[in-house]
Amino acid sequence: MTRSEEVIANALAVVAACRAERERDAERRQRTFGQIEISRPIPQIKSQQLKLDLH
């Protein structure tokens, strides 16, 4: 194996390790934060014009 092939193989190994770590972290976050129940949704203001007296 030439030096350039070794460098490419090492780079691909690093990319694979980073991807695996990222996927583990994403799964851990999903398990942790997926269990948190969020309170009532924030009420939305629907097409209301606010009347501001600027005088």
Other beta carbons within 10 angstroms of residue 48's beta carbon come to 6
What is the C-alpha separation between 41 and 29, in angstroms, rounded? Answer: 22
Residues 6+ apart with CB under 8 A from 9: 1
Q: Look up the pTM and report it.
A: 0.55
Mean pLDDT of the chain: 85
Q: What integer pLDDT is reported at residue 27 of this predicted model?
A: 92
Residues 21-45, mean pLDDT to the nearest whole number: 82
pLDDT over 70 percentage in the chain: 95
Task: Supply the DSSP symbol for 32.
Answer: H
